Amino acid sequence: MERDKMFVEHWQDRWDQGKMSWHEFEGNNNLKQNFDIFVNGRKAVKIFVPLCGKTLDMKWIAEQGHTVVGVELAEKAILEFFTENCVPFKRKHVLMLPAGELFKSLDGNISIYCCSIFDISQDVLGLFDGIWDRGSLVAINIDDRQRYVSLMLSLMAPGCNCLLESFIYDPTNRNGPPHPIDDDTLEEIYGTTCKIQHLSKSNSLREQQLWGFDPIIKRLSLITLK
Ligand code: SAH
């Protein structure tokens, strides 16, 4: 429990100090370029964005006609998401989630739960048709990875596509997050229950410049229940 509190404080400090080097001011290109594969022609599906920060991807996905549910522990991130994007919202208490609060757009298309991802369960959120995992699995402490993956698996409806962006680099070059995840590790954590397809692998120039070493590979993977 103490350890959990330490991580919560770490992230809250980063938001308080405005240190969000991961934030993409124009949203994520991989998501836009692979969106057809992700939703697979389905209309009005339910998409989960774990550890959502204030990513513009939530707004973009909602604009494509889908419903978005995010989870984020920093209230500041959620408030900035709604105010910076001029999306009117209301706050609600959730009976099943005494440790958290729900922030919901008035049109009902975007819901963001303010709590730790580990406070969440299928009972609270139901099942999803898609999971957009960018800056999420890679941000989770390595000791909590399996717990996180079990949760994601429990939230996947039949036919759910999990689109995952992650990095491959030599861990001796830098301490995460984002933590690197090589192909074998990904196979280890998702491979038993899921089929993993790598859609792309490319040199990540942004991170190479930011962190000052190379190679850093950005990989996009499609994970589906077997
Ligand atoms: N997916 C977003 C944010 C990535 S950074 C994007 O692409 O921009 C990781 C985010 O997860 C941070 O905003 C941090 O505050 C949040 N976070 C970290 N641990 C969390 C946890 N256990 N539960 C919920 N949110 C968490």
Residue 18: C-alpha distances to residues 14, 80, 140, 186 (Å): 6, 11, 20, 31
Give the tens place of pLDDT for each residue, 103-138: 999 999 999 999 999 999 999 999 999 999 999 999
What is the percent of the chain where pLDDT is above 90?
95
Q: How far is the CA of 51 from the centre of ligand 1 (A)?
A: 4
Instruction: Please indicate, yes or no, if residue 72 is contained in any of the structural domains.
Output: yes
Dig out the tokens for 117 from the structure.
């991802």
Instruction: Please indicate, yes or no, if residue 197 is contained in any of the structural domains.
Output: yes
Instruction: Please indicate, yes or no, if residue 22 is contained in any of the structural domains.
Output: no
Instruction: Please indicate, yes or no, if residue 64 is contained in any of the structural domains.
Output: yes
| The pLDDT value given to residue 99 | 87
Residue 70: C-alpha distances to residues 51, 53, 162, 202, 215 (Å): 7, 8, 14, 27, 31
**Average pLDDT value for residue range 23-39:** 97
Instruction: Please indicate, yes or no, if residue 90 is contained in any of the structural domains.
Output: yes
Give the tens place of pLDDT for each residue, 144-180: 999 999 999 999 999 999 999 999 999 999 999 999 9
d(CA 106, CA 13): 29
CATH number of domain containing 198: 3.40.50.150
Q: Which residue stretches of 28-144 are H helix?
A: 29-33, 35-39, 57-63, 75-84, 122-125
| The pLDDT value given to residue 57 | 98
| Cβ partners under 8 Å of residue 87, min gap 6 | 59, 81, 105, 110
- What is the domain range of residue 53? 2-17+27-225
CB half-sphere exposure, 214, CA atoms < 13 A:
10
Instruction: Please indicate, yes or no, if residue 41 is contained in any of the structural domains.
Output: yes
d(CA 72, CA 74): 6
| Cβ partners under 8 Å of residue 175, min gap 6 | none
Residues facing residue 109 across a β-bridge: none
pTM of the model: 0.97
Pocket around ligand 1 at a 6 A CB cut-off: 11, 22-23, 51-53, 55, 71-74, 77, 116-118, 134-136, 139
**Average pLDDT value for residue range 202-215:** 95
153-191 CB burial, b ≥16 within 10 A, e <16: bebbeeebbbbbbbbbbeeeeeeebbbbbbeebbeebbe
Quick one: which atom of ligand 1 is closest to the CA of 71?
Answer: 24
Q: How far is the CA of 34 from the centre of ligand 1 (A)?
A: 22
How many structural domains is the chain composed of?
1
Q: How far is the CA of 131 from the centre of ligand 1 (A)?
A: 14
